[in-house]
Amino acid sequence: MRIALLISGGGTTMEAIIRAIQNGTLQKVFPTLIISSNEKAGGLEKARKLGINEDNILVIDPKDFKTREEFGKKILEECKKREVDFIGQYGWMVMTPENVIEAYKDKIVNQHPGPLDNGRPDFGGSGMYGMRVHQARLAFVEKVQRDFWTEATTHRVTAKFDEGKIVKRKQVPILKYDTAEMLQLRTLPVEHEVQIETLRDFVNGTVTEFTREVPLVLLGEEKILEECKEIAKKMYPNG
């Protein structure tokens, strides 16, 4: 499986995936293309140090294109050149153009650092990324006093943020004195595991979709969730 890894920041998950490929933990997966939406992303230098050919490390910034469709055409052009057949979004901070999603239907996934609940209120959506997710989850759990855990998640990519079907998840306990920073530190290695296992599932044809029986947010708690999200955005203006 020839994969393109899309990043916007430090590239820690990209690094974990490539190392798993290089040490044989993840087989039949080839890191064919690295695309960053940000020329200052720390993941670009990580990719070089991991031995990825410079020709296959690209910056494609949406701000350089007049339309999202043109942005998507450029991504697709570079993927086609390298016969990419799977796309993973690992800290990719921009909305993926619909022409890319359509071209890689059922072959494009996104990493999310918190629990999702398809079609119901959850810890995803516009502006919910990075530390904001951890802070919102911590605050919500403290207020409702149940479900003392968070989740590292992989989901399919759709035209809206974090709304695609969940294909892999793993819980991380929330401890009594956790801060968002502490929770992030414990969750990140689990995020890496979940993304590596997701790729293995796609290679082996063992992907399954997950639907929650019990909602993350119960009836009447929607306002609490929104308040937690808004506070998290203010606490972490840069995510």
pLDDT in tens, 137-149: 999 999 999 999 9
Q: Residue 89: enclosing H or E segment and its boundaries?
A: strand 86-89
User: Number of C-alpha atoms within 13 angstroms, CB side, residue 34?
Assistant: 33
Q: Is the pTM of this model over 0.85?
A: yes
Residue with tokens 């479900």: 147
The mean pLDDT of the chain is 97
Question: Residue 70's pLDDT is what?
Answer: 98
| Mean pLDDT in residue range 18-35 | 98
Which stretches within 89-217 are classed as H helix? 98-103, 131-144, 180-204
Domain ranges of the chain: 1-105, 115-153+167-239
| Mean pLDDT in residue range 12-28 | 98
CATH fold group of domain 1-105: Rossmann fold (3.40.50)
Give the integer Cα–Cα distance in Å for 184 and 188. Answer: 6
pLDDT, one tens digit per residue, over 35-67 is 999 999 999 999 999 999 999 999 999 999 999
